[in-house]
Structure 1
């Protein structure tokens, strides 16, 4: 099989033979910074990192993560990386091979349910990639920084000024759930690689075989709790058959009983729900996360369903 053509990136803001201003935006995601390029009949994906993205190291960090996991989970091949040059107002660029497939969120519920075992196995495999301690990746060597907060209850307190729409009872409920969740999370002392946005929108599958062919968008990857990705995957999912299929595959890989894994997943996902709720007007996903967080706070139960959307 011929290797993909490698597109050189020059300092003038062009892929060789491609004007960046003419690139075709790819569907999916909310950033609007991922594009399809074509040179000599071969397609690739170009991700643009505006100056200031993760201290101008975003492209290099994402490339390093993709290279780290390639061969362990399906990800696109890294073709080229150009670091950002903020002094010239030039963005960072990451060029990866184009992978044919359909996004998981575009599958029918029945076809997505058929993919559930593969998704559970994926979350389990990511949860088995060890890291020395929690923290964000800060450079191309994947050195770890610090999150700067000690536990979920402290994080809730830190973000409460941005959650002024919560009622006093909801605030009390959120504090109670956060304390219970942290107690549960502390029973797992390992740290692993976390994708942190592991949901059907970021998964490509073969439309015929439904085989998982690529895991996309690693921009939020970090070292963290082993059940974070499972929590993200099951965040809005309350379909019993789908959830149990994911958990059964996870248990087969990692040996964690489904009920225990689900409780840990819901607890781990509270970090993301709090963060998304502070940006509830930014996207439909953030709005849903806010309704789910309020449902959890009102019920004082991490497994509670989201509140109904306003009409």
Structure 2
């Protein structure tokens, strides 16, 4: 199996038929693996997620999904159709019964299924129609506020594709609503703060990286 592109934390390899994801990163590998396994097995049919084929020690063997990586399409100047589909799929995901995916969710919270790292960085697309063919990497999934994933998708664009910030209108058009900038920025800041805390006693380089992300995110204005 060959290493797959766009794998930043884990060792992910594929052969065109299956993908083996081995969890790395120095922190909470077992928890992240268990989370992804549980979520993939509980999500309802119809969502473009890989099937779990087997559960090797420290890894998951997953169905290979065809498609072009979202970040590659954005780099080719196709941010608008990609982000439109990101918004549309997130709207569908937030209609899933959260208690079916996370049975311990307290009723009446208004929470939804949160992917936890939602954006073109974890999505595959049909190159002709831009239909989403894969929503990958569910290791950060949890029940939570619906603002989290839409704010993080925006964060991915602002942080990694700043030349395409003007295409974010399509994300909100596909999603069907544009939450206030204050709420979106607050959610992105909270996510960065969580990563800073996660690496407080972990690798120093990772902690510095997230401290930098946090400072930049706090300084943003919506027009920036």
State TM-score, norm by structure 1.
0.57
Question: Does the 8 Å CA contact 1:75/1:216 hold for their aligned counterparts?
Answer: yes
Question: Structure 2 vs 1, CA of residues 109 and 100 (structure 1 numbering), >3 Å: closer, same or farther?
Answer: same
Q: Which residue of 1 aligns with 2:42?
A: 68
Aligned pair 1:122/2:89, yes or no? yes
Q: 1:112-140 CA distances to partner (integer Å, 9 max, x unpaired)?
A: 211222111122222333436xxxxxxxx
CA deviations 1:139-177 (Å, max 9, x no partner) are: xx84559xxxxxxxxxxxxxxxxxxxxxxxxxxxxxxxx
Bigger helix fraction: 2
Distance of aligned partners of 1:119 and 1:276 in 2 relative to their CA distance in 1, 3 Å threshold: same
Give the TM-score normalised by the residue count of structure 2: 0.77
**Residue 111 (structure 1) aligned with residue 78 (structure 2):** yes
Aligned residues: 210
Aligned-residue RMSD, C-alpha:
3.3
Tell me what 2:65 maps to: 99
Match in the other structure for 2:19: 45
The yes-or-no answer on 1:35 pairing with 2:1 is: no
Write the distance in 1 (CA, Å) between the matches of 2:217 and 2:181. Answer: 17
| Structure 2 gaps, min length 5 | none
1:225 corresponds, among 145, 167, 175, to: 145
Structure 1: stretches of 5+ with no match in the other structure: 1-22, 83-90, 133-140, 146-188, 306-311
CA, structure 1 residues 275+53, in 2 after alignment: closer, same or farther (shift >3 Å)?
Answer: closer
SS at match of 2:149: helix
Partner of 1:212: 132
**Counterpart selection for 2:172 from 247, 250, 271:** 247
CA distance in 2, matches of 1:81, 1:48: 10
Please list, as runs of the form range in 1=range in 2, the aligned pairs for 1:1-311 lying within 5 A after superposition.
23-36=1-14, 38=15, 43-49=17-23, 54=28, 56-82=30-56, 91-107=57-73, 108=75, 110-131=77-98, 142=102, 144=104, 190-235=110-155, 236-237=157-158, 239=164, 241-251=166-176, 256=177, 258=178, 260=179, 262-277=181-196, 281-282=205-206, 286=210, 289-296=213-220, 303=222, 305=224
Note the alpha carbon deviations across 1:25-59, whole angstroms, 9 max, x for none: 211132242111x4xxx620011236x97483543
Q: Retained in 2: the 8 A contact 1:102–1:204? A: yes
Q: CA deviation at 1:74?
A: 0.8
Tell me the secondary structure at the aligned position of residue 206 of structure 2.
Answer: coil
* Contact 1:204–1:212 (Cα < 8 Å) also in 2: yes
What do residues 173-215 of structure 1 show as CA deviations (whole Å, max 9, x unaligned)? xxxxxxxxxxxxxxxx511110110121111112233221000
Work out the CA distance in 2 between the residues paired with 1:267 and 1:195: 18
**Helix, strand or coil for the counterpart of 2:78?**
helix
